Amino acid sequence: MAYSLYSSAKGPRRYWYSACPKTGTQSLKHIFDQTEFKDILSVTYIPDDYPTDTGDQAGTIKWHQPVQGIVQQDEFSYERDHIFATIRNPWARYASYYRYQKNKCIDKIEAYEAGMSYSEYQTSQIMKDVFGDTTPPVRIEIGSEVVHHSYCSKEDDVDNKFIDRMTAMRDVMLDSFETLIDHVWYCYGKDLYNDSFSIYRMPDSLKMMSMTCTPQSLYYQCVTTGQPVHFLKLEDPDMIINFINKHFNITVEMPSVNVTGHGEDYKSLYNSRTKEIISILEADIIRIGSYKY
């Protein structure tokens, strides 16, 4: 995974965007990719060995970065810099994550078994119009080479690592919405709340998948960094637009958000236990955004 950070290059104060997956980050990226921002924004922390001509979107850099990663950058100044971040109703976010990832996982397995190449798989996904709100690609190691793709063709999967991971995701982590929430709790709740009893044991092959379903409260480290963070609600596009207009002095329009609709009707997936788990893990975000179930 490669990260990129956008920061304001002018003015007495710079604003850095912390981009948590599944919180409308692609919509913000579309805004900041506009030519108006070319001389206002700068990018930091792109590894020298990261090829920008490969991956899901050739020529682009994946930019998800937690708050704690931003404040550790040499360019970040505690005296002058602020951070802003988009947040989303946590219950809707996990519903969206589950539905999107399960569909994506099934599609990958079917494409793999059909012997599709990477480009053929990408074309099939575009045709199905499922890339409205994308998550970062998985970085897959095949032999001694690293492939920056979210999909691996069968002929390249010499050790069956890719298909084994996809099968485990489908049958274990994404078997049901409850198993996804169990996975999130296993990765984060046990350490945070000293829960010595795990509902089930997560296979090592799935631990790497924890980043994209990190609770927002942890991803943004709402209290522990001590740095001002401006939280903008995804459900309130005017809040986002007004913030950009005020601090970047550019009038923009908010692109469509969550066009896939995977977060709609989220209550149909929850029971009392999973609802409570999210309320514990996302207590800070629920408080900050005044979110209701």
- Asked whether residue 168 falls in the same domain as residue 258, the answer is no
Phi, psi at 143, each rounded to 5°: 65, -125
Mean of pLDDT over the chain? 74
Residues 167 and 74 in one domain: no
Clarify whether residues 57 and 23 are in a common domain: yes
Does 252 map to a domain? Answer: yes
User: Do residues 145 and 49 make contact, with C-beta atoms less than 8 angstroms apart?
Assistant: no
Residues spanned by the domain of 230: 5-90+215-262+274-289
Same structural domain for residues 204 and 221? Answer: no
- pLDDT top residue among 50 and 239: 239
Asked, for residue 268, whether it belongs to a domain, the answer is no
Q: Look at residues 210, 231, 249 and tell me which one is the last residue of a structural domain.
A: 210
Residue 269 in any domain: the answer is no
The verdict on 241 and 166 lying in the same domain is no
Same domain? 113 vs 167: yes
Residue 267 placed within a domain: no
Same domain, 199 and 227: no
Q: Which of 160, 151, 4 is CA-nearest to residue 75?
A: 4
Same domain, 55 and 146: no
- Compute the distance between CA of residue 97 and CA of residue 216 in angstroms, rounded to an integer: 13
- The verdict on 148 and 107 lying in the same domain is yes
Q: Average pLDDT of 70-96?
A: 88
- Total domains in the chain come to 2
Is residue 60 in some structural domain?
Answer: yes
Q: Has residue 190 been placed in a domain? A: yes
| Gap between the Cα atoms of 238 and 222, Å rounded | 23
> Are 187 and 123 in a shared domain?
yes
Q: Which tens digits make up the pLDDT trace of 88-140?
A: 999 999 999 999 889 888 888 888 888 877 667 766 666 564 444 443 333 33
Do residues 158 and 187 share a domain? Answer: yes
Same domain, 83 and 228: yes
Measure the CA dihedral 20/24/25/26, to 10°: 150
- The model's pTM is 0.77
| pLDDT of 143 above 50 | no
Give the domain-ending residue among 210, 234, 249. 210
pLDDT tens readout for residues 251-286 = 887 766 554 566 678 999 999 999 999 999 999 999
Asked if 272 and 147 count as a contact pair (C-beta separation under 8 A), the reply is no
Dihedral (C-alpha) 137, 141, 147, 152: value to the nearest 10 degrees? -70
